[in-house]
Amino acid sequence: MQTEQELKEIVRKKYSEIALQDKETNESSCCGASCCSTEVYNIMNEDYSTLAGYNADADLGLGCGLPTQFAKIKNGDTVIDLGSGAGNDCFIARKEAGEQGKVIGVDFTDAMINKARGNAEKLGFNNVEFRKGDIEAMPVTAAVADVVVSNCVLNLVPNKNGVFKEIYRVLKPAGHFSISDIVLVGELPDALQKDAEMYAGCVAGAIQKDAYLQMIHANGFTNLTLQKEKAIIIPDDILKNYLDEPGITSFKAGNTGIFSVTVYAEKPLTEKACCEPGCC
């Protein structure tokens, strides 16, 4: 069993490599992992190109949804993007937030931070910044964000509960998040759960959908809404790297589902009073 730190280093190394790959390579694999598929279609990624603010240089084809499309960003908002990569969601969020808004991208990979900063400089954006740091301990002060977005990132983080605590901390009262992520219904085969490449490819690090939603509730968020959900189909030529033919047949015939979800929730305007003995 790998430790949290070992899993984070797997992701850091892989996404440093991905930062130097082209979009076509990333789209033909599982969130950029090296288990490339010969089937020419996107496994998880959705088309950003029609959204205002889109910049092709910032699109590495790594997402599993369109959280900025659902994030209800208003002019003047401060937005934080978790796992900001080359800046794709940040630049679209900037278009929504306008010149009076501010966008902060947080990523723990030097290569991604450098790529994103280069893209922002080329575009002449002075209200978008990229900070290096873990999203479980964001380099951001409390209660500064109106909106938090993230795209196919929390599934890569071992301590997901810690991330939701941080989202709650950095949001202003009545602020909200819209997050696209990978979740499961049913248990993955052991080979997929244990493989490092599949972890870096988003799938093995995903948790059960019910547990994911409950974690959001448990961290104090309200008005939880499932904004979008779609099934993710992993092609046979990727599965064969992890499962034999009977295993593939069993996996596809079973009750296990891999889904991309976009989830919205709000931080309450006022926090509940602490009433239990010893909790304050």
pLDDT digits (tens, 9 = 90+) for 135-189: 999 999 999 999 999 998 998 888 999 999 999 999 999 999 999 998 988 887 8
Q: Residue 21 burial by CB count (10 A; 0-12/13-18/19+): exposed, middle or buried? A: middle
Residue 277 resides in a domain: no
| 226, β-bridge pairs | 263
Largest Cα separation within the chain, whole Å, is 59
Residue 50 resides in a domain: yes
Q: pLDDT at residue 23 above 60?
A: no
Amino acid, res. 62: L
CATH number at residue 198: 3.40.50.150
Per-residue pLDDT tens digits for 27-45:
444 444 444 444 433 456 6
Q: Are 147 and 119 within 8 A, CB to CB?
A: no
**Residue 182, Cβ neighbours under 10 Å: how many?**
28
Per-residue pLDDT tens digits for 92-123:
999 999 999 999 999 999 999 999 999 999 99
**3-class SS of residue 23:** helix
Which residues have a Cβ under 8 Å from the Cβ of 193 and sit 6 or more positions away? 187, 204
Which domain, by its residues, includes 37? 4-266
**E strand segments, the chain:** 78-82, 102-107, 128-132, 145-151, 171-185, 207-208, 222-231, 257-266
Residue 273 resides in a domain: no
Residue 272 resides in a domain: no
Residue 122 resides in a domain: yes
Q: Give the chain's domain count.
A: 1
Residue 236 resides in a domain: yes
Tokens of 111: 């290569």
Residue 133 resides in a domain: yes
> Residue 77 carries which DSSP code?
-
Distance of CA 164 to the CA centre of its chain: 12
Per-residue pLDDT tens digits for 130-150:
999 999 999 999 999 999 999
**3-class SS of residue 25:** helix
